[in-house]
Amino acid sequence: MHQFPLFHEDKIPRILFTMTSPWLLLEKDVFTPLNERLLEIVHIWKTGKKRKGSVLCVVVANYRPIQLFLVKVKADRGEQYKITNRWLLKYLKLVDGKTVNQETLDFELQFDKVYKWTAGSCDEKNAFIRCLWKLNHRYLSGIISFVNVPSCTMEGKQGPQENAKASAEAENQEEHCVYQEMTPKETADMLKLMEEYEPIVNNAAAFAEQLSSDLQVLDETNLQAIISSERQVMLLMNSIDEALVEVAKVEETLQIHDKLLGSLKQQMDHIQQENFLLHRIESNQEKLMGEILFLTSNLDLNEEHCQVLRQGDLSSPRKVKACIEAVEALSSCMNVQIQPGYRKLQAVAEQLIMFETLKQNFENSFISHITSIFEQQGNTQVPPVMQQTNKLISPTHESYHDELLPYVPLMTWLKNTNPMLFSDLPKVYARSLCRLYEREIKNFFEMARMLLLGRAKDSLQECLDKTGFMAYGNRRQSQFGLPENRNEEDDDLDKGNLVKHMLQQVLRGLQPLCTSEQRFIEKFFVLSQDAIRQEVLEPPATSEREEDAAFPEESPCAKIKSQLEEPSAQLLTEIFNSLEPELRSFIDTFNKVHEFSCLQVLVTLNDYMLEIQGSSSALSSSFLNTVLSNMLLLAKNNFNKCIYALCKEIEEAKLPSKMKGGILPFVSRFEEYVNFSEEAFKWAQQTGELEKAHMRLVDTVFNSINNLSSVNLKVNTDMVIMENFHHMHRFLLQKKICCLESKQREAKEMYSKHLVLYVTQCLGQPLEKLKHFFEGVKTRVAQGVKEEEVSFHLAYSKQELRKVIEKYPGKEVKRALETLYKKIVKSLSPEENLLPVVWQAMEQKFICQYQEFEDLIQRCYAGSGITMDFTVEDLLSYFNSITQFKM
């Protein structure tokens, strides 16, 4: 006989469809595919927001270990559920029911963030909180806190007023449970049953009767099985009673053993406590012994060191070495890090007081000793300058430095232990040594002046006689290219080389002096060199103009200011306070050797600074670099003053009243300057400032030459201007100065222009009346008179023309040209050799004038048969004969 599932006969038609409640849909569509089981649900939405279809679910995973989750699910428009949030339940910290005495739909869950929700009903909220409470105590050991939740809600109890509602809901739940969805096995059995009873399925009454009979048979079978198992139940109960008796006996035995072991446990606890105290005493003794050994070993100063520090004797190198060892030992003792409480111990306090006393005593002895050495070195006498000396010897302080360098460890110790006392020592050293350096630097520059003026004495007087500071009226005319001026130029160049040589000697003598002193004070006074080295190693700033890089105006000032901020630079400035004034005075001495010596000084200083900046010695010569930067600014100012004075001299130059032409004095002056500057800047690395000066001087010379047109001279002004521009053109062409190429072309243009003007002025002298006659004819034609009617004017009739022509026969014209040639020869200066050029231009212009006269005769006096007494061939023969005869 087949067994079938049991169903209530009046409920059979309702089990044939699947229920679509949210619980079943969530379990089927969401959690079953994830191998999870749904425990409780509550419909929620955010407190204070619009109600939305979200469900908060409590689920458990169907695998080990057990994992509890809190899942928020949201339903979309197609009744499909989607997980939006998921939390592990063990991370839940707090459940807040909001109120205890009255019902509310709001509650809060706190994870890392607090979530405020509103439930769909109070029953759902209470059931959900009850489920959380049970899971918390069963699986989470009560780690979740519950506040504002009634105890009846957590224990599942209800008040009297809710009994009726609870019973009704229980019935509804019981009824609801009947209509749960069938399992696949139940469905298969149901289909098999219906197939077996297919003939009677159509008759519902017969089918129900058959099912009732089968149910009755099953009930009888179950009842018989229960009755037959009663004997076995009795046997099981007897076995349980016997087991309880045995358990009682075991419990009694355990109580007896526990009483026996109670006193033993007390004794063991006492022994354990005593052992712990003994171990602590032993540990404290070890720590105390370690601290005592630490203090005695680190705060113990050798008696020999104490004696050395008390005496403070630094009279010999051996004693200095002993003092260094003593202060190192004292520093190690005083630098020991001890706890503040140890300083209250009498022995420690006495030892620290002794250390401080020894330190102060030795500080006083050392400062007194080193100060006396400073004073002794500062009072050293400097030997006088010998008049017969032929070599520049720079002072040296190596012996002084060697005397002080053994004290460097003591200086370092003093700086670390007492910076206040140490800060006064550099000042004392600077005050003492500056007196010595002042005497030595003064003697050094006196020796340099003697050598400079002694070597230049013979040539200086000659220079003053020839090109010195005499008035232009008495100065000898400088003739370009003549042999007699070569000696004067060579003399100037020799003086320029003398200036360069002496300045280089002075600079090369000062460099080791400043370098060694700077290195010494940095080492002796423990000064930092990083800033100085970084500053010197940096290349000069690149500017847009080359001359700014060669002769900076603002960058050296900023550099000097930054250098003077360094301790070593400040100390060196005080030590060498007389160096810069003496160097300025020595540079001014060069003006006595040559008036253009500022050029050589500028080039020499600039090249020397570039040299030391590019060499390794620049690492320790920052102070000298600072001083030379100031000197470079001074040299640049002197150079600018020289150029300004030379320009002013050219502008204000007064020509001699009896001047008969030739090269102007200020043009020769310009040549003298260019020749000297060319030699001075021959090997210079930068020439930007020189090019600016050249441009300024050439403009001044050109303006002064052009200004001659407004000066009343006894000679032809155009001729003088022509000759000087021709001279400037030849000079600039020979020198090939790149920055003056445009001025060279300008000089050529001005020379050509004034050549034409000069020839034009001289052209009217041979045929003066004839020239005036035809100028009048051209004037009438220009006024509108017809050319054929000009002869009807009385002043320009044919008779008047014949009279004028008769005055200029061929012999008279030749004689007039000879006179003009002599006059030109007398006016032009022979050194420029412009006579052939001028005479050729005169010939061409004269022939053009003759052809113009012939053309006017043909146009205005046509048919009159009037002609001049000479032809073009005659004129050419006249010019050739004059040229050949004079040459």
Confidence of residue 663 (pLDDT cuts 50, 70, 90): confident
The two tokens of residue 284 are: 């404290």
With cut-offs at 50, 70 and 90, classify the pLDDT of residue 10: very low
**Separation in Å, CA 401 to CA 144, 393, 759:** 82, 19, 80
Q: Which residues pair with 82 in a beta bridge?
A: 74
pLDDT band of 499, cuts 50, 70, 90? confident
Residue 780's φ and ψ, nearest 5 degrees, are: -65, -40
Is the whole-model pTM more than 0.75? no
Residue 80 burial (C-beta neighbours within 10 Å; 0-12, 13-18, 19+): exposed
Q: Is residue 660 very low, low, confident or very high in pLDDT (cuts 50, 70, 90)?
A: low
Least confident of 55-64, 230-239, 348-357, 477-486: 477-486
**Using an 8 Å Cβ cutoff, are 46 and 117 in contact?**
yes
* pLDDT interval class at 538 (50, 70, 90): very low
Least confident of 41-50, 428-437, 500-509, 871-880: 871-880
On whether the CB atoms of residues 817 and 879 are closer than 8 A, the answer is: yes
Q: Maximum CA pair distance of the chain?
A: 190
Distance CA 316, CA 335 (A): 28
- Contact of 354 with 334, CB cutoff 8 Å: no
In this predicted structure, the answer to whether residue 805 has a pLDDT above a threshold of 50 is yes
Q: What is the pLDDT of residues 273-287, one digit of tens each?
A: 888 889 989 999 999
Q: What is the pLDDT of residues 301-311, one digit of tens each?
A: 888 989 988 88
Condensed to tens digits (0 to 9), the pLDDT of residues 720-746 reads: 777 787 778 777 787 777 777 888 788
Does the domain at 22-153 match CATH 3.90.1170.30? Answer given as no
Q: Phi and psi of 106, rounded to 5°?
A: -85, 145
Contact 791, 864 (CB under 8 A): yes
Identify the three-state secondary structure at position 464.
Answer: helix
Name the token pair of 236: 């099981």
- The winner for highest mean pLDDT among 296-300, 413-417, 509-513 is 413-417
Residue 175 has a pLDDT of 46
Confidence of residue 765 (pLDDT cuts 50, 70, 90): low
Note the pLDDT of residue 460.
Answer: 43
Q: Where are the beta strands (DSSP E) in 439-529?
A: none
Q: How far apart are CA 205 and CA 12, in angstroms?
A: 13
Q: Which of 387, 501, 505 is nearest to 446 (CA)?
A: 387
Check residues 809 and 539 and name the one with the higher pLDDT. 809
At 87, the pLDDT band (50, 70, 90 cuts) reads: very high
- Confidence (pLDDT) at 850: 78
Q: Where are the beta strands (DSSP E) in 366-471?
A: none
Decide if pLDDT at 519 tops 80: yes
More confident residue, 488 or 876: 876
Give the whole-angstrom CA distance, residue 130 versus residue 122.
12
Please tell me the predicted confidence (pLDDT) of residue 384.
65
Q: How far apart are the first and last CA of the chain?
A: 167
**How far is residue 479's CA from residue 739's CA, in Å, rounded to a whole number?**
24
> Starting at the edge strand that comes first in sequence, how are the strands of the sheet with 145-147 ordered?
81-88, 68-75, 54-61, 36-46, 114-119, 106-110, 94-96, 145-147
Confidence of residue 711 (pLDDT cuts 50, 70, 90): low
Does the pLDDT value for residue 317 go beyond 60? Answer: yes
CA separation for the pair 682, 293 (Å, rounded): 79
Does residue 71 have a pLDDT over 90? Answer: yes
Separation between Cα atoms, residue 430 and residue 577, nearest integer Å: 10
Give the model confidence (pLDDT) of 388-420 as tens digits.
Answer: 456 677 788 888 889 899 999 999 999 998 889
The full DSSP string for 29-62 is IIIGGGTEEEEEEEEEEETTS----EEEEEEEES
Secondary structure of 594-609 in HEC code, one letter for each residue: CCCHHHHHHHHHHHHH
Interatomic CA distance for residues 885 and 887, integer angstroms: 6
User: Is the pLDDT score of 692 beyond 70?
Assistant: yes
Q: Give the Cα separation of 469 and 472 in Å (integer).
A: 9
Flag the least confident range among 154-163, 340-349, 393-402, 743-752.
154-163
Residue 3 has pLDDT above 90, yes or no: no
Predicted pLDDT of residue 476: 31
Q: What pLDDT sits at residue 162? A: 46
Neighbours of 418 (CB within 10 A): 14
| Higher-confidence position of 302 and 485 | 302
Confidence of residue 627 (pLDDT cuts 50, 70, 90): confident
Q: How far apart are CA 611 and CA 683, in angstroms?
A: 13
Q: Tell me the domain boundaries of the chain.
A: 22-153, 211-299, 303-379, 777-886
Q: What mean pLDDT do residues 448-456 have?
A: 73
Contacts of 746 (CB under 8 A, 6+ apart): 702
Q: Write 507-513 long-range contacts (CB < 8 A, 24+).
A: 507/604, 507/605, 507/608, 507/628, 509/392, 509/393, 509/394, 509/444, 510/394, 510/579, 510/583, 510/624, 511/612, 511/617, 511/621, 511/624, 512/394, 512/396, 513/394, 513/395, 513/396, 513/397
Does residue 159 have a pLDDT over 50?
A: no
Q: Flag the least confident range among 24-38, 303-317, 374-388, 691-705.
A: 374-388
Residues 539, 585: Cα–Cα separation, whole Å? 30
Lowest mean pLDDT among 122-131, 569-578, 670-679: 670-679
Q: How far apart are CA 601 and CA 609, in angstroms?
A: 12
DSSP letters of 519-548?
HHHHHHTT---HHHHHHHHSPPPP-SSHHH
Q: Where do the DSSP E strands lie in 148-226?
A: none
Task: Report how far residue 521's alpha carbon sits from residue 516's, in angstroms, rounded to the nearest whole number.
Answer: 9
Instruction: Determine the pLDDT at residue 669.
Output: 81
pLDDT digit string, tens, across residues 110-157: 999 999 999 989 989 999 999 999 998 888 888 899 998 887 776 665
| Three-class SS state of 75 | strand
Residue spans of alpha helices (H) in 828-886: 835-860, 872-886
Nearest to 882 by CA among 832, 827, 841, 821: 821
Report whether pLDDT(626) > 60. yes
Q: How confident is the model at residue 470 (pLDDT cuts 50, 70, 90)?
A: very low
Average pLDDT over residues 469-497: 41
741-750: Cβ within 8 A, 24+ apart: 743/695, 743/698, 743/699, 743/702, 746/702, 747/702, 750/702, 750/705, 750/706, 750/721, 750/725
Closest CA to 861 of 775, 766, 774: 774
Which helix (H) or strand (E) segment holds residue 332: the answer is helix 317-334
pLDDT mean across residues, the chain = 76
- Looking at residue 128, its pLDDT comes to 93
pLDDT tens digits for 183-201?
777 788 777 777 776 666 6
Which of the residue ranges 169-178, 320-329, 705-714, 807-816 has the most confident prediction, judged by mean pLDDT? 320-329
Cβ–Cβ < 8 Å for 751, 729: yes
Cα distance between residue 116 and residue 108, in whole Å: 5
HEC profile of 167-184: HHHHHHHHHHHHCCCCCH
Confidence of residue 38 (pLDDT cuts 50, 70, 90): very high
Could you tell me the two tokens for 390? Answer: 């032929």
